[in-house]
Structure 1
Amino acid sequence: MDYVHISDSDLRILDLWSSGQWNLENIYSPLNQSLQSNINSYNPDVQAGSEVGWCWTGATSKVYNAHSGYLWLSKKMFSWEDRGNWLWLWRQHVLEKHKFLAWLCLREALPTAAFRFRRDISYMDSCPRCFSGQESRPFRFFSGLWWIWRSRNNEIFHPHEHWTTDKVIGMALSLEKELRNIFQLQRLSIPSTISGSWISPSVGTFKINCDASYPSSGARVGFACVSRDWKGRWQRGCLGTIESRSILQGELFAI
């Protein structure tokens, strides 16, 4: 499921299971048909067996709720760590609604026209104000954050070069348009067979990923590589620089 509604955060099995059946209509979170079928096929009374007072071991309280279930499943599937991941966001000393908005953006879950259209909630994915293109707020949100940060740095390091509010807004809107064009070109040019994530090699083999950078003004080239096995375990890596003239002479391959 895409997200858990805040009203379901403390739900217990007892709140949804009654007289041998699930009462899924009490859940506010969106459940697709496949998930509903999986839940309905699970009988907690049968799983409990003849023991009386069975408890949930995924929480120190021994009482199951949606929050502890989410953490347990995240640890199992994604190696979730209690002190990492999204906790950095929730611990910020800002308004809860601001943290929630940032979380929605990072999860690509803002209820924009594009988001609603993908879920058959809206009949179009274009902006309802100008109808000029797909409405996807993360572009504007992060473009605004970027140029607000740039404006702050400019005030500190170049105090005599003041940027007006209109200028910052204009640059943010310009960046938003540029990002939209870039991502649109990527969708049109990148084959669907290319994966956006690391693909493990066949069993018993290793994969070496490498990258390099070359500044336009400089005599050295930076490079790095890392080796991982078929389980994704790190084996060996290296990081270094080399004289750019050595590349022309073929010496890079001897490293």
Structure 2
Amino acid sequence: MAEIDELSSWKWLWRIPAPEKFKFFYWTACHNSLPTRTMLHKRGMLNYDICPRCTTCPESILHCLRDCPFSRKIWLSIGFENINFFMEQNIFTWIRRGTTSGNKQMFMAAYWWIWRARNKLCLANEITPAAAVKIQIYNSASINSKVFGHQSTDVITEQWVSWHPEEGTAVIINVDGSSLGNPGPSGFGGVLRHSNGKWIYGFAGTVGISTILHVELLAIYHGLKVAWDQGYRNIVCYSDSTLSIQLIGRDVNPWHHYASILTNIRDLVKRNWSIGFKHTKREANAVADLLAKAGAAGTDAWTEFREPPPAAIPLLQADAARVMFARI
């Protein structure tokens, strides 16, 4: 009974960890009120209901956002390959499953940007390439994962976090990416430390105009490569990008926009050494964040730091002392 009441009151939808515009969009779709050509035709506002992209099928909500060849290609390329994903014919059930699944941030971002691409075609006669839509999806999912990934659906409580030293002899790598605009001037950075917090090596670099997910993955790749080149064989790599860590743990889809970077990372992982990947809060990733911002603001493709830059010293001291930082 409680579940039925929640469905009828739409509490499940308003508790989705997503921007308010996303929630309103899903609410409109669940009420079959998105202005697709099928809906406009039924209301006498158009004389036809054919999809403007494939020009073969009526443009229902599910066809527009999932089943049209253009949309389906995007879903497959970002990892939604299960045939059951394309079998559901009830828009309400499909949205509810997608927005409450383990991959909800990617689902919600894809849902939004596929619709945006459709509107550009219908309203401005502007064709958005599938590759450009995928970049927008990855960017949006990455940002929303950081903003909403740890949001509670009940009471938001204060958390205390600190740098994560590992017990034993493992070398700790903290990495981060920074994008001044997303897309915009972008860079990556990282730091290698012993488990007691002692500095080993730092790096930063710029890639010009790019996206946050791109540089988050590049930071991981360069961090692993530096560790290998310097002879370390027992490492733990921390990133505050949940999406990056998730992508590394999956099989590489050849259609993925960053398939080459992911393949390079996985090739490094397959070498004869011990690697662990862990997510960290951004407050516990301050040194890598500092270096990534320096990379984004700089002009050099690669900068190494044999000694810590002055601005990083107080951050390193706080990490070594396990200073706790509050986050909401």
Length-normalised TM-score, structure 2: 0.22
Larger radius of gyration: 1
TM-score by length of 1: 0.27
Between the two structures, name the one with larger relative contact order (CA 8 Å, sep ≥ 6): 2
